[in-house]
Amino acid sequence: MPETKDQLSERAKEIIRILKERYPGARCTLDFNTPHQLLVAAILAAQCTDEKVNQVTPALFARYPDVQSFANAGQSEMEQAIKAAGFFRQKARSIIESAQDIANIYGGRVPDSMEELLTLRGVGRKTANLLLGVVFGKPAIIVDTHVKRVAGRLGLTTETDPTKIEFQLREVIPEENWTVFNHLLVAHGRNICKAPKPLCSICPVLHLCPYGQKTIGQVK
User: What's the pLDDT tens digit per position in 127-138?
Assistant: 999 999 999 999
pLDDT > 90 in the chain, percent: 96
- Rounded CA-CA distance 114/140 in Å is 10
Residue 156 clears pLDDT 90, i.e. is over it:
yes
pLDDT bracket for residue 181 (50, 70, 90) = very high
Residue 218 clears pLDDT 80, i.e. is over it:
no
- Rounded CA-CA distance 68/157 in Å is 41
- Indicate the SS3 state at residue 20: helix
User: Is 20 known to be catalytic?
Assistant: no
Mean pLDDT score, 131-149: 97
User: Is 144 known to be catalytic?
Assistant: yes
- Rounded CA-CA distance 179/5 in Å is 21
* CA 60 remoteness from chain centre: 21
Q: Is 35-135 a CATH 1.10.340.30 domain?
A: yes
Domain ranges of the chain: 5-27+141-219, 35-135
Contact 168, 158 (CB under 8 A): yes
User: What's the pLDDT tens digit per position in 66-114?
Assistant: 999 999 999 999 999 999 999 999 999 999 999 999 999 999 999 999 9
**Cβ-Cβ contacts under 8 Å for 88 (sequence gap 6 or more):** 79, 82
- Rounded CA-CA distance 19/15 in Å is 6
Active-site residue (options: 144, 148, 161, 164)? 144
Active-site residue (options: 6, 126, 161, 194)? 126
Pick the CATH number of 5-27+141-219 from 3.30.230.10, 3.20.20.140, 1.10.1670.10, 1.10.3720.10: 1.10.1670.10
Residue 220 clears pLDDT 80, i.e. is over it:
no
